[in-house]
Structure formats: C-alpha cells, structure tokens
Amino acid sequence: MNFELTDEQRQIRQTLTDFAEREIKPHAARWDRDQAFPREVFGQLGSLGFLGVAFPEPYGGAGADTLTQVVVVEGLARYDAGLALACAAHMSLASGHLAGFGSDAQRARYLPDLVAGRKIGAWCLTEPGSGSDAAAMTTRATRKGDNFILNGTKMFITNGGVADVYVVMAVSDPGAARTGISAFIVERGAKGLSTGRKIEKLGLRSSDTAEVILDNVAVPAASLIGEPGAGYAQALKVLEAGRIGIAGWATGIARGAMEEAAAYAKERRQFGQPIASFQAIQWMIADMATRIDAAWLLTGRAAALRDAGKPFAREASAAKLFASETAMWATTKAVQIHGGYGYVTDFPVERYMRDAKLAEIGEGTSEVQRMIIAKSLIKEGYLPA
Ligand SMILES: Cc1cc2nc3c(=O)[nH]c(=O)nc-3n(C[C@H](O)[C@H](O)[C@H](O)COP(=O)(O)OP(=O)(O)OC[C@H]3O[C@@H](n4cnc5c(N)ncnc54)[C@H](O)[C@@H]3O)c2cc1C
C-alpha cells in the first residue's frame, strides 16, 4: 500500500489551498448566513480544472484517479463544506453518472461543459416518500412516441435550483420493481420542470438544496441513459463511488475544524497560559488527528480498490461511515475547545458542526452504511444469514 500522495496530487492540493484561502475562506461565513451559493466561485473551480480532475481528457478532464478527485473535495470541505458538497454532487453524482453510463453522444454533449464548470449538474434519486428505500420511488416515465413523459417530485436535490443538467431516476416499468427504473437526462428549461420551495437547512447553507418537480416533462428517447430498466443498478454504482467522495468530504470538514481548534487553543489564555498547554485540550486534538488519519486511510483504500477495478462497496461504506462520525465528533470537540466562543457565529467551528451532520445522513445514512457492511459480513459467515 502506498500512503503518500503523488507529486501531482500534492501540487493540486497546494493550488487548491491557495485558491481557497483567497477566494473561499474570507466569504464562507457570509455565504452561510445569506444561504448564497457562490456560482461564480464554482465556475472558477471549473476553469482552473478542479471539477474535471478525474474525467477523461477528451472531455476536458485531466484523466486522474479517484483519490485525486477526493483530494479536491476534501480540500474544499476544509474551508466550506456547502460549496464542497455542491462540487461533489456535480462531479461524483451527476457528471459521474453520465461519464460512467452515458453513450458517447451523451458524454460529448454534456461532459465538456460540466467538467469546465460552465454548467452545473444535479442528481435526482430521493423523493418525499422514498429516501433510504430509493427503489420505492413513484416518479413515472411513460413512453409516448419518440419521447418519455416524466411526472413526479424529487426531494433534497443538491444544486436542484441552480443546475443546468439533471440526471433523473424514474419508474419506466411499474411491474418490474428495481429493474423497472430508468435514468434520464433533463435539461434546464424543459417545459414542466420546476423547483419547489427553498429548503432551509441546519447547515451547508452555501449549497443549494431544492425540490425538483417534473410535471409532464417530455424528454426525447435519446435522453435515456443506458438501457431501459438499468437506472437503479446505475444509481447504486454511482452511490458506491460517491461515498468515497463523501468520506473525503467529511474528512475535510474534520480537518478544517481541527485546524481551527488548534489555532484557537494556542491563542486563548486561561489560568495564565494558552489552553493548548492543558493536557485535556492536547488529548482532544490528538484524538482528532488520529481519527482524521484513520478516516483518510480508509478513504484512500476504497479509492485505490476502485481504481484497481476491484470490488469496493464495503470499503466505501466503511470509509463513509467512519469519516462521517469523525466529522461530527471532531467538530463537536472543536466547539468544546472554543468554549463559549465556539457557540457563537464569530468563529467558524459552529458552522463546521452544523455542516458535518449531513455526512451521517446524505448518500446513505450511517444506518444504511452499517447494513451494507453487515451484509458483507453475513456473506463472509461472520453473521447469520
Ligand atoms: C442537504 C441534503 C442534500 C441531499 N442531496 C441529495 C441529492 O443531491 N440527490 C438525492 O437524490 N438525494 C439527496 N439527498 C437525500 C439524502 O440522500 C436522503 O436524505 C438520505 O438518503 C436519507 O433518506 P431520508 O431523508 O428519506 O430518510 P429515511 O430513509 O426516511 O430515514 C429516516 C431514518 O430511518 C433510518 N432507516 C431507514 N431505513 C432503515 C433500515 N432499513 N434499517 C435501519 N434504519 C433505517 C435512517 O437511517 C434514518 O435514521 C440530500 C439530503 C440532504 C439533507
């Protein structure tokens, strides 16, 4: 196993850090307060090549590996988890679905703009009545001549209100259960496509989250991604890879919180000395650093397995589960280290703590990750079938 980043990955991380210190860190608190998605900065990330690191070169990407994309998501989440989530959903989910399962014509039509950040992608699986049990969706796709007619409502869609390209899962064959679900591309401006009420969130307020409503939206049959009925299997594969990104995202939040806590502890004096000299504080930071390292290593293992073409579902779930719980734990400790100042909006750690909670919910809750891991343990005979 190689535990080191390559020179190229180190360089990407450094360039991203320089950009984030300049263009993200000074504004993150305001975007959070105003619930403002920084579209312009998203575009800049695209033009600088960050959104395309892991996409094929013919579409404007850099053709790098999964870990390189994780380096980008982790590096962004360290400063602004909302913007980082917007990028992760755009890259791993929407663009990743098109790159992985789209036809050559679909890739050529959509990927160059998505990779360059000129267009934004959204990925629509969840519905008001179906989250963890995504296959229970009720959005329908009915064939009518050369078109499919989409009807239904998608819930909690990241970039839902700002996207240009939507990947939508819908039931095309109601009798066929999971193999009756297909995936479609819907473009912004399609008649009958709208977004519902603005969803007010606990955290990640610089990320746009919206209901996506499909009211008799006609899409050409050429918008179908892959075979009819392949949509659910595609979505599971997309989620499997997406979890590696979310593991990196959660690790980035934890790292950002640890850095803020350590810096504060060196400045803040009580009983005549910096609180960083108290063993109780040092141990909290030591535990943070250890858990962050472990989360990063689990994430790196899942990414390496994926790039080697080996099964990685359990490893991706383990990375996502551990990194999410690390993010929640570390951000709570970061607030603790700040004392009363951690509880107020003058310091960023309360935002990190609010943002971290989604890691335990999105792209499969922690309970769902444990179910996936347990299923694998059942297969190996550790648990009864
Ligand atoms: C900010 C945000 C962004 C999101 N972005 C997207 C997006 O871009 N695209 C998209 O499609 N979705 C998105 N989601 C949806 C997200 O993936 C779902 O919220 C998540 O999968 C959980 O589904 P749910 O909210 O319906 O919860 P439910 O599935 O109703 O779960 C409620 C509780 O029950 C537990 N539970 C459910 N089933 C079981 C079981 N079998 N055993 C044990 N416990 C169980 C869950 O773990 C959870 O604790 C987003 C959500 C949020 C909040």
Q: pLDDT tens, position by position, for the chain (385 residues)?
A: 788 999 999 999 999 999 999 999 999 999 999 999 999 999 999 999 999 999 999 999 999 999 999 999 999 999 999 999 999 999 999 999 999 999 999 999 999 999 999 999 999 999 999 999 999 999 999 999 999 999 999 999 999 999 999 999 999 999 999 999 999 999 999 999 999 987 999 999 999 999 999 999 999 999 999 999 999 999 999 999 999 999 999 999 999 999 999 999 999 999 999 999 999 999 999 999 999 999 999 999 999 999 999 999 999 999 999 999 999 999 999 999 999 999 999 999 999 999 999 999 999 999 999 999 999 999 999 999 9
Shortest-distance atom of ligand 1 to CA 159? 8
CA 266 to chain CA centroid, nearest Å: 32
CATH number of the domain that 256 lies in? 1.20.140.10
The structure tokens listed for 103 are 């036809």
pLDDT of residue 353: 98
- Is the CB–ligand 1 distance for residue 156 below 6 Å? yes
pLDDT of residue 197: 82
Overall domain count for the chain: 3
CATH number of the domain that 20 lies in? 1.10.540.10
Shortest-distance atom of ligand 1 to CA 364? 21
- Let me know whether 238 and 305 are in one domain: yes
- Let me know whether 236 and 375 are in one domain: yes
Last residue of a domain, one of 96, 120, 144: 120
Range of the domain at 31: 7-120
380 in catalytic set: no
- DSSP structural state of residue 221: G
Question: With 0-12 CB in 10 A as exposed, 13-18 as middle and 19+ as buried, what is 30?
Answer: exposed
Tell me whether residue 149 is in a domain: yes
Query: Which residue among 127, 240, 350, 363 is the active-site one?
Result: 363
- Let me know whether 97 and 170 are in one domain: no
Last residue of a domain, one of 92, 120, 148: 120
- Let me know whether 185 and 80 are in one domain: no
Last residue of a domain, one of 79, 99, 120: 120
- Is the CB–ligand 1 distance for residue 120 below 6 Å? no
Which of 166, 361, 373 has the most ligand 1 atoms within 8 A of CB, as the residue to mutate? 361
Tell me whether residue 364 is in a domain: yes
pLDDT of residue 213: 98
Please report, for residues 214, 264, 281, 374, the alpha-carbon distance to residue 336 in angstroms, rounded to integers and kept in the order given. Answer: 45, 11, 9, 33
CATH number of the domain that 146 lies in? 2.40.110.10
- DSSP structural state of residue 54: T
- Let me know whether 276 and 183 are in one domain: no
Residue nearest to atom 42 of ligand 1 (CA): 367
pLDDT of residue 181: 98
- Let me know whether 308 and 322 are in one domain: yes
Please report, for residues 2, 84, 287, 289, 337, the alpha-carbon distance to residue 282 in angstroms, rounded to integers and kept in the order given. Answer: 29, 29, 9, 10, 10
- Let me know whether 274 and 316 are in one domain: yes
How big, in percent rounded to 5, are the helix, strand and coil portions of the chain? 60, 15, 25
- Is the CB–ligand 1 distance for residue 361 below 6 Å? yes
Tell me the C-alpha distance between 133 and 44, whole Å. 36
Distance from residue 151's CA to the centre of ligand 1 (Å) = 21
pLDDT of residue 313: 96
Tell me whether residue 26 is in a domain: yes
Tell me whether residue 385 is in a domain: no
Distance from residue 362's CA to the centre of ligand 1 (Å) = 6
Tell me the C-alpha distance between 368 and 298, whole Å. 18
Distance from residue 80's CA to the centre of ligand 1 (Å) = 22
- Let me know whether 93 and 162 are in one domain: no
- Let me know whether 40 and 104 are in one domain: yes
pLDDT of residue 47: 98
- Let me know whether 306 and 182 are in one domain: no
Residue nearest to atom 27 of ligand 1 (CA): 131
Tell me the C-alpha distance between 170 and 183, whole Å. 6
Tell me whether residue 2 is in a domain: no
Which of 37, 92, 95, 132 has the most ligand 1 atoms within 8 A of CB, as the residue to mutate? 132
- Let me know whether 153 and 250 are in one domain: no
Element containing residue 209 per DSSP (H, E)? strand 209-220
- Let me know whether 218 and 128 are in one domain: yes
Are 207 and 362 in contact by the 8 Å Cβ rule? The answer is no
